Amino acid sequence: MSEAKHAAVSKFGQLAVRLVGFKSPQRAWFRCRETFRDIPLQGRSLLEIGAGVGLFSAYAAVQGAGLVVALEPEAAGSTAGIASKIVQMRHELGARNFEVLADTIQRYDNAGRTFDVVLSFNSVNHLDEPSCIALSESEDAREAYRAIFRKIAGMMNTGGRLILADSSRYNLFPLLGLKAPLAPNIEWHKHQSPGLWQRLLSPLGFVKESLRWYRCYPLRHLGCLAANRLVNFCLGSNFRLVMRYRGPPHG
C-alpha cells in the first residue's frame, strides 16, 4: 500500500469514529466490506443515492474508485447535523474523485456520465415513501418506482451492479407487536422485502446476482451461521440485494 493510500485509509477510520459514531475503525471497515463484498471498486465509478453521512462514498474513494458521486439532498448549505457530515467527510479526506451533490435521484442530471456501481443503503424506501408503502397493492405505486429504476438503469454501464441494502418489512418483533431491540425506530410498514424489489427490477434489464443477509459485528466470526434470513428475522432483517444490469430489455 502506498504512503498516500495508507494515510487516506487511516483518515477514513478516524472520520468513521469521529463523524459517523462507530466505536472503532474496525467496525466501520467491516460494515463497508460487507456492503461492497465481491464488488470491485478500484478504477470504477460509483453513484450513491441518499448518501447520508457519506461513509460508503468515502470508503469507495479511499479504495481507489475513479469517480464517486454522492447524492444527499440535505447537504446543500448544511452547517449542522447529519447532512453536514458528508461535506466534512469529503473535505477532510481531500479526495478529488469524490463529489457531493444536494440532489434526489429524481432531480439528478448525470450529464452523460455512467456508473459501474449504484448503491442505495437504507434509502430505497425513501425515494418515494408513499409509493413504497403501497407497492404491494397499487399499480400506480409500482409504476412510480419503475420510473425511478428506469432512470437509474439509464445511468448504468452494461454489467454494472445496483446494490440495494435495507431492512425487509418482515421481522419477528412487529409480528408480535413489539419494538425490535436492535432497531427500535424502524417503521416496518415503510419497507419492502428483497423479493419485491427483485420483481420490480427484473423486467427493466436487471438480473439477480446475489442476496445476502447482514452479519452484525459481534457475530462476525460465525460466518454464514449469522448471515442468514432466520437470524436476521430475529434481529434487524437487514439484507443486501445485488442486481446486475444487462442492458435495456428487448421489445
Contact 91, 134 (CB under 8 A): no
- Alpha-helical runs (H) found in 94-180: 129-133, 139-154, 172-175
CB atoms closer than 10 angstroms to residue 101: 17
Q: How much is the pLDDT for 230? A: 65
Per-residue pLDDT 10s for the chain (251 aa) are: 677 777 888 999 999 999 999 999 999 999 999 999 999 999 999 999 999 999 999 999 999 999 999 999 875 444 456 668 888 888 999 888 899 998 999 999 999 999 999 999 999 999 999 999 999 999 999 999 999 999 999 999 999 999 999 999 888 878 888 887 777 888 989 999 999 999 999 999 999 999 998 877 666 666 665 566 667 666 678 899 999 999 988 75
Domains annotated on the chain, with CATH = 3-245 (3.40.50.150)
Distances in whole angstroms, Cα of residue 191 to Cα of each of 17, 42, 65? 28, 32, 30
As a whole number of angstroms, the distance between CA 222 and CA 141 comes to 39
**Across-strand partners of 242?**
163, 210
Q: 137 and 154 in contact (C-beta within 8 Å)?
A: no
Rounded to two decimals, the pTM is 0.91
At 81, the amino acid letter reads: G
Cell numbers 474508485 correspond to 65
The residues, ordered by sequence, that sit 6+ positions from 228 with a Cβ below 8 Å of its Cβ are: 213
Contacts 24+ apart (CB under 8 A), 73-80: 73/102, 73/103, 73/104, 74/102, 75/100, 75/101, 75/102, 76/102, 77/102
Report d(CA 14, CA 8) in Å as an integer. 10
| pLDDT reported for residue 217 | 62
Q: What amino acid occupies position 176?
A: L
